[in-house]
Structure 1
Amino acid sequence: MTSFINQVLTDILARPTSISDYTFILPSKRAGSFLIHELGRLSKSPAFAPKILSIEDFAEEIAGLKSVDNVTALFEFYSAYKKCTPAEQTENFDTFASWAQILLYDFNEIDRYLIDYKSFFGYLANIQEVNHWSLNDEKTPLMENYLTFWNKLPEYYEQLQEQLQKKDLAYQGMVYRRASERISDYILKNESQHIFIGFNALNNAEQEIFQRMLEAEQAEVFWDADESFFKDEQHDVSLFLRNYLKTWPFYREKPFKKVSAEFQKEKNIKMVGIPKNIGQAKYVGELLSKMPPEEIQRTAVVLGDESLLLPVLNSLPPNIDEVNVTMGFALKNAPVTFLFEHLLKMHSSPQGDWYFKDITAIINHPVIQKITRRASGSLSEKIKKDNLIYVSSETILQQASENTKRLYELCFEDWGNDPRKAVDQLQELVYFLKSGLDPEKDKITLEFLYQIHLLFNKLNNLLLEYKHISSIKSLFTIYKDLVSAHTVDFRGKPFSGLQLMGVLESRVLDFRNVILLSVNEGVLPAGKSSNSFVPFDLKSAYNLPTFKEKDAIYSYHFHHLLQRATNVHLIYNTESDGLNAGEKSRFLLQLEMEKQPLHNIESYTVIPKVPAITGELKVIPKTPEVLERIKELAYRGFSPSALTTYIRNPLDFYKQYILGIKERDEVEETVAYNTLGTVVHDALETFYKGWEGKEIRLEDLEKAVQDVPSEIKKQFREHYTSAPLKNGKNLLIYEVAKRYVNNFLKTEIRNIQKGNSIRILQVENKLTCPFPVEELPFPVNLKGTVDRVDSLNGKVRIIDYKTGKVEQNKVEIVDWEDISSDYDKYSKPFQILMYACLLDHHQPISEPVEAGIISFKNLQNGFLKFSKKDKSGRGAVKNSDITKDLLEDYKIELKKLIVEICDPNIPFEEKEIKQNAW
Structure 2
Amino acid sequence: MTTFIFDVLKDLQNSNINLSNLTFVLPSKRAGLFLKHQIHKVSNQTIFSPQIISIEEFVETLSQLKTVSNTELLFEFYSSYNQITNKEHLDSFESFSKWAQILIQDFNEIDRYLIPQKKVFNYLSDIQELNHWSLEKDKTDFVKNYLSFWSKLYNYYTCFTEQLLNKGIGYQGLIYREAVKNLEPYIQSNTSKQHVFLGFNALNTAEETIIQELLQNDLAKIYWDIDIVFMNNPKHDAALFTRQHKTSWKYFKKNPFNWITNNYLKEKNISIYGVPKSIGQSKYIGTLLSDLSKQNQSLQNTAVVLGDENLLIPVLNSLPESIEALNITMGFPLKSIPLASLFETLFNLHKKSSKSFYYKDIINIISHQFIRPLLYFQDIDYASKIIETIEANNIIYLTPNRLKQIAIKTESIIDILFTNWEISVDTVLKNCSQLILTIKNNLTENKASNQLSLEYLFRFNELFNELSRLNSEYNHIKDIPTLFGVYKELLSTETLDFQGEPLQGLQIMGMLESRVLDFETVIISSVNEGILPSGKSNNSFIPFDVKLENKLPTYKEKDAVYTYHFYRLLQRAKNVYILYNTEVDVLTGGEKSRFITQLQLEKKHKINHKVIAPYVPLISLQLSIVNKTPELLNKIIEVAKKGFSPSSLTNYIRNPIDFYYQKILKIKQFNDAEETVAANTLGTVVHNTLEDLYKPFIGEFLTVEKIKSLKLKTSENVSYHFKNEYKEGDVTKGKNLIIFEIAKRYVSNFLDLEIQDLKAGNQIKIIAIEAENNVQIDIPELNFPVNLTGKVDRIDEYNGTTRIIDYKTGIVNQSSVEIINWEDITTDYNKYSKSFQVLTYALMMHQSKQIKLPAEAGIISFKNLSNGFLKFSKKDKAGAYAKKDSLITEDVLNKFNDQLKQLILEICSIDIPFTEKEI
TM-score by length of 2: 0.95
Q: Which of 455, 473, 483 lines up with 2:463 in the alignment? A: 455
- Structure-2 separation of matches of 1:434 and 1:45: 51
Q: Which of 650, 655, 659 lines up with 2:661 in the alignment? A: 655
- Structure-2 separation of matches of 1:905 and 1:779: 19
Deviation at 1:612, TM superposition (A): 0.9
Compare 891-900 and 744-753 and name the one that shifted more: 744-753
Superposition map of 1:194-213 within 5 A: 194-213=195-214
Q: Which of 475, 489, 501 lines up with 1:493 in the alignment? A: 501
Superposition map of 1:4-19 within 5 A: 4-19=4-19
Deviation at 1:507, TM superposition (A): 0.5
Deviation at 1:864, TM superposition (A): 1.7
Structure 2 equivalent of residue 902 of structure 1: 908
Structure 2 equivalent of residue 607 of structure 1: 613
Query: Match for 1:576: what amino acid?
Result: V
Superposition map of 1:121-136 within 5 A: 121-132=121-132
Structure 2 equivalent of residue 385 of structure 1: 392
- Structure-1 separation of matches of 2:515 and 2:328: 15
Q: Which of 522, 529, 544 lines up with 1:521 in the alignment? A: 529
Check if 1:298 corresponds to 2:301: yes
Structure 2 equivalent of residue 916 of structure 1: none
Structure 1 equivalent of residue 754 of structure 2: 748
Residue 122 of structure 2 aligns to a residue whose secondary structure is helix
- Structure-2 separation of matches of 1:530 and 1:441: 47
Deviation at 1:878, TM superposition (A): 2.5
Post-superposition Cα deviations, 1:542-576, rounded to whole Å, max 9, x if no partner, equal 22211111111111111111111111111222222
Deviation at 1:235, TM superposition (A): 0.2
- Structure-1 separation of matches of 2:587 and 2:406: 42
Deviation at 1:742, TM superposition (A): 2.9
- Structure-1 separation of matches of 2:885 and 2:555: 81
Query: Match for 2:94: what amino acid?
Result: D
Deviation at 1:501, TM superposition (A): 0.9
- Whether the aligned pair in 1 keeps the contact of 2:860 and 2:868 (CA below 8 Å) is yes
Deviation at 1:482, TM superposition (A): 0.5
Superposition map of 1:16-95 within 5 A: 16-95=16-95
Check if 1:413 corresponds to 2:419: yes
Structure 2 equivalent of residue 533 of structure 1: 541
Q: Specify whether residues 390 and 847 from structure 1 end up closer, same or farther in structure 2 by C-alpha distance, changes over 3 A only.
A: same
Deviation at 1:693, TM superposition (A): 2.8
Residue 663 of structure 2 aligns to a residue whose secondary structure is helix
- Structure-2 separation of matches of 1:283 and 1:729: 50
Q: Specify whether residues 728 and 845 from structure 1 end up closer, same or farther in structure 2 by C-alpha distance, changes over 3 A only.
A: closer
- Whether the aligned pair in 2 keeps the contact of 1:716 and 1:722 (CA below 8 Å) is no
- Structure-1 separation of matches of 2:553 and 2:245: 15
Structure 1 equivalent of residue 630 of structure 2: 624
Instruction: List runs of 5+ in structure 1 lacking aligned partners.
Output: 914-918
For the aligned residue pairs, the C-alpha RMSD in angstroms reads 2.3
Structure 2 equivalent of residue 314 of structure 1: 317
Q: Specify whether residues 873 and 217 from structure 1 end up closer, same or farther in structure 2 by C-alpha distance, changes over 3 A only.
A: closer
Deviation at 1:773, TM superposition (A): 2.0
Compare 264-273 and 699-708 and name the one that shifted more: 699-708
Post-superposition Cα deviations, 1:395-430, rounded to whole Å, max 9, x if no partner, equal 11123354x332221111131152111110111111
Query: Match for 1:570: what amino acid?
Result: I
- Whether the aligned pair in 2 keeps the contact of 1:348 and 1:417 (CA below 8 Å) is no
Q: Specify whether residues 671 and 135 from structure 1 end up closer, same or farther in structure 2 by C-alpha distance, changes over 3 A only.
A: farther
- Structure-1 separation of matches of 2:827 and 2:130: 76
Structure 1 equivalent of residue 404 of structure 2: 397
Query: Match for 2:98: what amino acid?
Result: S
- Whether the aligned pair in 2 keeps the contact of 1:245 and 1:255 (CA below 8 Å) is no
Structure 2 equivalent of residue 356 of structure 1: 359
Structure 1 equivalent of residue 146 of structure 2: 146
- Structure-2 separation of matches of 1:728 and 1:37: 70
Superposition map of 1:788-827 within 5 A: 788-827=794-833
Structure 1 equivalent of residue 721 of structure 2: 715
Post-superposition Cα deviations, 1:288-311, rounded to whole Å, max 9, x if no partner, equal 223357621111111111111111
- Structure-1 separation of matches of 2:741 and 2:799: 33
Superposition map of 1:570-585 within 5 A: 570-577=578-585, 582-585=590-593
Compare 601-610 and 571-580 and name the one that shifted more: 571-580
Deviation at 1:101, TM superposition (A): 1.5
Structure 1 equivalent of residue 512 of structure 2: 504
- Structure-2 separation of matches of 1:279 and 1:846: 70
Deviation at 1:845, TM superposition (A): 4.3
- Structure-2 separation of matches of 1:30 and 1:709: 77
Deviation at 1:146, TM superposition (A): 2.5
Check if 1:219 corresponds to 2:224: no
- Whether the aligned pair in 2 keeps the contact of 1:522 and 1:582 (CA below 8 Å) is no
- Structure-2 separation of matches of 1:734 and 1:255: 89
Deviation at 1:446, TM superposition (A): 0.7
Deviation at 1:876, TM superposition (A): 1.8
Query: Match for 1:520: what amino acid?
Result: N
Q: Number of aligned pairs?
A: 910
Query: Match for 1:359: what amino acid?
Result: I
Superposition map of 1:124-203 within 5 A: 124-132=124-132, 138-191=138-191, 192-203=193-204
Post-superposition Cα deviations, 1:10-65, rounded to whole Å, max 9, x if no partner, equal 22234444323221111111111211222244333233322222111222211121
- Structure-2 separation of matches of 1:15 and 1:536: 46
Deviation at 1:130, TM superposition (A): 4.2
- Structure-1 separation of matches of 2:342 and 2:651: 43
- Structure-2 separation of matches of 1:514 and 1:662: 55
Instruction: List runs of 5+ in structure 2 lacking aligned partners.
Output: none
Compare 720-729 and 445-454 and name the one that shifted more: 720-729
- Whether the aligned pair in 1 keeps the contact of 2:330 and 2:497 (CA below 8 Å) is yes
- Whether the aligned pair in 2 keeps the contact of 1:32 and 1:53 (CA below 8 Å) is yes
Query: Match for 1:63: what amino acid?
Result: S
Post-superposition Cα deviations, 1:357-411, rounded to whole Å, max 9, x if no partner, equal 2222222112223455555332222222323221110111123354x33222111
Deviation at 1:731, TM superposition (A): 3.1
Post-superposition Cα deviations, 1:277-296, rounded to whole Å, max 9, x if no partner, equal 22222222222223357621
- Structure-1 separation of matches of 2:200 and 2:710: 88
Check if 1:336 corresponds to 2:339: yes
Compare 317-326 and 38-47 and name the one that shifted more: 38-47
Query: Match for 2:460: what amino acid?
Result: I
TM-score by length of 1: 0.95
Post-superposition Cα deviations, 1:58-95, rounded to whole Å, max 9, x if no partner, equal 22211121112111111112222222221112121112
Compare 871-880 and 393-402 and name the one that shifted more: 871-880
State the percentage of identical aligned residues.
49
